[in-house]
Structure 1
Amino acid sequence: MLQKINLENVLFLDIETVPEYPYFDDLDTEEKTLWEQKTKYQRKEEFTPEEFYDRAGIWAEFGKIICISVGYFANKGDLRQFRTTSFHGEEEQLLREFKALLETHFNRPHHLLCAHNGKEFDFPYIARRMIINGITLPFKLNLFGKKPWEIAHLDTMELWKFGDYKHYTSLRLMTKVLGIPSPKDDIDGSQVRNVFYEEGDIDRIITYCEKDVVAVAQILLRLRNERLLDEDELLHV
């Protein structure tokens, strides 16, 4: 089945998220109460709501997207090329730009969106933040009323499960066991909040996000038992 997919019809993506506000004290009283209730079981007795707030980017209700990186194959005969680009800046604007890409270039039934753990994180997070920002969902993210086989989403973590619903494998672990260069050679997801709010280094985050996109594409190639992308086949546009 995977071998039948035309890779040029796949849009690979990854998102980077941070807490919506830099600090816990920036939340109003009701937001603080809702945050405490939302994270009660995750925090247990180990952290106070304030101590746990640096993880708020995980939840779309308390976080925001600061970068969406995408990648796609642009092959010419036997020559492969994988192009990456990123949307960043003010959240509403980057979401609108990403939506325009979907509706302009990846709006056909055979087009697929692909991410690692995308069905549990990236796809629903983007959809929730679009709704919060008053943006009508593009067809590829609007799942209301669709049957499972009508949802054009690929998830490399789900593909790796082979039916094991309890199995979680991080992107870093998958790249390691599959012999793919690690995208985590600078920062990881736990550091994005500090790099964004404390260092103000969005370029570093973009580079990290695009490396994850390349890693997802490499994983799909390995699952298809195809040759990995070489450095000279990668192009940032």
Structure 2
Amino acid sequence: MKQLVFDIETSGVSFDSLDHETQEYLLKRADTPEKITKVKEELNLYPLTGEVVAIGVLDVSTQRGSVYYQAPGRTIAPFEEGPTKYFAGSEAECLQRFWADCMDADRIITFNGRAFDCPWLLLRSLVHGVTATRNLMPPRYTTNFHVDLADQLAFYGAVRHYALAFWCKTLGIPSSKGDIAGKDVPQCYNAGEYERIARYCMADVRATRELFLKWNETIGQL
């Protein structure tokens, strides 16, 4: 069985680069300076005001992975670090590589993928005219194809959702936290730290794999 873990990193567009009509639309409900600032700071959270800057994919069994990431303005040759390959390209090229990986997957594993990663990947593919090869959003209450660990560990909202880093800390799983966090990605991206983002993305993917194995070996078969 081919099981793939994946994770994405995103960055928002510059608010000032948006046309006046779009700015007005986004600020329609922002009636205080604080809310206006919040809108501008959270453009990376939404697929119509941001873009996917890194996609990490890992085979659960072989532990071989790939990261597809953007590096605008630079030409970076593909390189390898251990069992991970890194490929720089445009957002559309990253998406195409991701869908090629997913084509023959029997199962996908994410952390909060249903609420974030999967809609982003599908909608950014729509924007670029890239054809999706799999439905990443099957019926929620089944793990036959998509295991969203955030959903599973919260029992579909019966208990509180905890962040991946908190689960890793609790269960003794090495994680990427301490280097950068998701909220730092836009700043790193604007600073041209593309490889740093790519490595951070893969660290989260590997942490998600370890969390999946612990879940699967203990309560995931119930």
State whether structure 2 residue 32 is matched by structure 1 residue 88. Answer: no
Give the whole-Å Cα distance in 1 for the aligned partners of 2:174 and 2:31. 36
Whether contact under 8 Å (1:70, 1:86) holds in the other structure is: yes
Matches within 5 A, 1:1-237: 8-19=1-12, 21=13, 23-37=14-28, 40=29, 45=32, 47-50=34-37, 52-74=39-61, 81-89=62-70, 90-103=90-103, 105-106=104-105, 111-141=106-136, 143=138, 149=142, 152-165=145-158, 167-197=160-190, 199-225=191-217
- C-alpha change, 1:151 and 1:225, in structure 2 (3 Å) is closer
Whether contact under 8 Å (1:140, 1:152) holds in the other structure is: no
- C-alpha change, 1:149 and 1:220, in structure 2 (3 Å) is closer
How far apart are residue 141 of structure 1 and its match?
3.0
Whether contact under 8 Å (2:118, 2:137) holds in the other structure is: no
Give the whole-Å Cα distance in 2 for the aligned partners of 1:31 and 1:11. 37
Whether contact under 8 Å (1:35, 1:49) holds in the other structure is: no
Whether contact under 8 Å (1:16, 1:209) holds in the other structure is: yes
The code of the aligned residue for 1:113 comes to I
| Unaligned runs of at least 5 residues, structure 1 | 1-7, 75-80, 227-237
Whether contact under 8 Å (2:27, 2:39) holds in the other structure is: no
* Structure 1 vs Structure 2 CA RMSD: 2.3
How far apart are residue 44 of structure 1 and its match?
6.9
Whether contact under 8 Å (2:8, 2:54) holds in the other structure is: yes
What do the CA deviations read for 1:111-133 (whole angstroms, capped 9, x no partner)? Answer: 11111001111111111111111
Whether contact under 8 Å (1:72, 1:84) holds in the other structure is: yes
Give the whole-Å Cα distance in 2 for the aligned partners of 1:93 and 1:11. 19
Whether contact under 8 Å (1:92, 1:130) holds in the other structure is: yes
Give the whole-Å Cα distance in 2 for the aligned partners of 1:130 and 1:142. 14
Whether contact under 8 Å (1:16, 1:65) holds in the other structure is: yes
How far apart are residue 148 of structure 1 and its match?
5.5
Whether contact under 8 Å (2:153, 2:161) holds in the other structure is: no
Whether contact under 8 Å (1:24, 1:50) holds in the other structure is: no
- C-alpha change, 1:212 and 1:137, in structure 2 (3 Å) is same
Equivalent residue number for residue 87 of structure 2? none
Whether contact under 8 Å (1:73, 1:82) holds in the other structure is: yes
- C-alpha change, 1:184 and 1:31, in structure 2 (3 Å) is same
Give the whole-Å Cα distance in 2 for the aligned partners of 1:169 and 1:210. 20
Give the whole-Å Cα distance in 2 for the aligned partners of 1:164 and 1:140. 23
How far apart are residue 94 of structure 1 and its match?
0.8
How far apart are residue 151 of structure 1 and its match?
6.9
- C-alpha change, 1:149 and 1:155, in structure 2 (3 Å) is closer
The code of the aligned residue for 1:204 comes to R
3-state SS of the aligned residue for 2:64? strand
